[in-house]
Amino acid sequence: MQPLAPPAAAQARPSLKPPPRPDAGIATLIDRAAHALQARRTLGLSPASLGLAAADWWGHLMSSPGKRLELAGEAARMAGLYANYVAQALQHQRGEADPACCIPTEDRDRRFRDPGWQRFPFNLLQQAFLLQQAWWRQATTGVRGVSKHHEQVVSFTARQMLDTMAPNNLLLTNPEVLELTLQSAGNNLLQGMGYLRDDLQRLASGAAPAGTERFVPGQQVAATPGRVVMRNRLAELIQYAPSTGAVHPEPVLIVPAWIMKYYILDLSPQNSLVRYLVDQGHTVFMISWKNPAGEDRDLGMHDYLEHGPLAALEMVQRICGPVPVHAAGYCLGGTLLAIAAAMLGARGDRRLATLSLLASQVDFTEPGELSLFIDDSQVSFLEDMMWAQGYLDTTQMAGAFQMLRSYDLIWSRMTHDYLMGQRRPPNDLMAWNADATRMPYRMHSEYLRGMYLNNDLAEGRWRVDGQAVSVEDAPQPWFVVGTESDHVAPWSSVYKIHLLAHSEITFVLTTGGHNAGIVSEPGHAGRHYHWGRREPGRPYLDPQHWLQQAAREEGSWWPRWSAWLAAHSSPPRDPPPLGVRGAASLGDAPGEYVLQR
């Protein structure tokens, strides 16, 4: 590929800061202060949002006699099934045949897998719970007239309430815990109390979760050798040292999400995507975002764009020369990269060679389970909470994610740690997940409203420097990765890039979730992926038809991406210098920002 110099328009790029907003009136200030105070008691959830959803569901249910008759009939049917099951279970106690379950356990539900749940009387408890769960699922869905969003919120709330009452959460109704308690003479409960006391002390002091101190950035994780080559108010840029004698001239610039620390892509040496790319002969640069504080409250999406990918792109070309750059974005970083690519494409700036999105959304019409917490009422409530403190705190973000997977992240941990007294040691991915960052008030408000509520980028309303930008203006080939069990960016939503980009798209669907699917190193057991390429001008395929036609490959998708980058690069040559020659040293990787708390 021939080197491309940045056009004069790019070199003389004007400031991207939007005009300042006028101050709010006294009435608005009073309301916002009241909402912020209320948010402390509701963990950031808007009571009005929940109330609107409940009123929508209840009002339509009360005006639907047919649905109520159906639910009453279903309750009677389930009661009959349960009574029959109880009778069979009592007969089984007298030596007769095992009772047939009146409702099976779902394959993904791990709560009742222990054989003890098939013994009397615990089998009665788990069957009663599963029947109740099934009835409430039917009661909160399919009510004619209820909005889809409100139906999802009500169904989710009912599921959360039921999860708190599940029999596996209590000592006296959990056969596995009872058996362990008898075997250990109660030592498991003493051990669990110690774990609970330690966790409460850590929570009160703001200390990291137990065991995560074994994963220190720059030592056990984020340990790929490199140097910080740029630092500004929002970001550091890390350049990684080459591990091969020759490298492809076109460097790889990675834009991670700013909701967490960057080293999800540079975990332990054996599962570091950065180290893998470096070992394949690529020069890799990584943005490391600052952990913002109250004084950064007015930093917006424009600031993240200007101080993040655009500033990094200029520094990368200062170091590597006027060669095109492979740009990759993960999660929110991919959305920001798409904005940058659309802006540069509209200006005729051809400094980007290719674009790669890893579990990133550009169209937000199907944003996944996070949409449960996003409507006008909830966003306004969050804005007022952030307005009071200047940022969205890490604990407030973590609470929403834990609620989405309450069994995996809350109840199973409480049972395992506090009742069974068996704390699982964290791995590198778990330690990273606990190392969250804050988000500035203005940026997060703009992101939630512009993307989740209004879908401005996909619909051509997102503005940069006063001009609307469109992803279709980015002419580069795309490599896009979705993950099968992603609850943050569902792969069908990530796939919508096919409706927006007009250039070549290579799409990969890999096993795993939002994080584990991306951290999918070669040799990782049980991994496979589907992939396909859409040439420009080819007809659109919906996600399910694409999946039926896509090729299936065993193993990690990393080698395919590396080969794709190499195919869009020039032949290898001597590596570029580490940093700008003669510039003052900013320190070695992983830098300062990743260590901020």
- The model's pLDDT over 202-235, given as tens digits with 9 standing for 90+, comes to 888 878 888 888 999 999 999 999 999 999 999 9
- The yes-or-no verdict on residue 363 having pLDDT over 90 is yes
pLDDT of residue 44: 75
In 3D space, the residue among 317, 281, 124, 239 whose CA is nearest the CA of residue 579 turns out to be: 239
Q: Is the peptide bond before 490 cis (omega within 30 degrees of 0)?
A: no
Contact (Cβ atoms closer than 8 angstroms) between residue 518 and residue 358: yes
Bigger pLDDT: 201 vs 42: 201
pLDDT of residue 14: 40
pLDDT tier for residue 418 given thresholds of 50, 70 and 90: very high
- The yes-or-no verdict on residue 596 having pLDDT over 80 is yes
Catalytic residue numbers read 331
Q: Region 273-298: what's the mean pLDDT?
A: 96
pLDDT of residue 372: 82
Burial 196-218 (b: 16+ CB within 10 A, else e): eeebeeeeeeeeebbebeebebe
pLDDT of residue 407: 57
Query: 3-state class of 327 per DSSP?
Result: strand
Burial bucket for residue 347 (CB in 10 Å: 0-12, 13-18, 19+):
middle
Q: Region 513-538: what's the mean pLDDT?
A: 95
| Residues in CB range of 50: below 8 A, 6 or more apart | 153, 157
pLDDT of residue 509: 98
- The yes-or-no verdict on residue 597 having pLDDT over 90 is no
For the whole model, what pTM was predicted? 0.89
Q: Which amino acid, one-letter code, is at 229?
A: V
Q: Region 287-302: what's the mean pLDDT?
A: 95
pLDDT of residue 305: 98
Give residue-wise pLDDT tens across range 536-568.
989 999 999 999 999 999 999 999 999 999 999
Q: Region 435-459: what's the mean pLDDT?
A: 94
**Which among 39-43, 93-97, 209-213, 351-355 has the top mean pLDDT?**
351-355
Contact (Cβ atoms closer than 8 angstroms) between residue 437 and residue 261: yes
- Residues of the chain by 3-state class (helix, strand, coil), percent to 5: 50, 10, 40
Q: Region 172-181: what's the mean pLDDT?
A: 95
Which domains, from first to last, does the chain contain?
Answer: 47-162 (no CATH), 227-371+443-569 (3.40.50.1820)
pLDDT tier for residue 95 given thresholds of 50, 70 and 90: low
pLDDT tier for residue 385 given thresholds of 50, 70 and 90: confident
- The yes-or-no verdict on residue 3 having pLDDT over 50 is no
Give residue-wise pLDDT tens across range 20-70.
454 568 888 888 888 888 877 777 788 899 999 999 999 999 999 999 999
Q: Please, what is the average pLDDT of the chain? A: 90
Contact (Cβ atoms closer than 8 angstroms) between residue 492 and residue 524: no
**Which among 1-5, 318-322, 581-585 has the top mean pLDDT?**
318-322
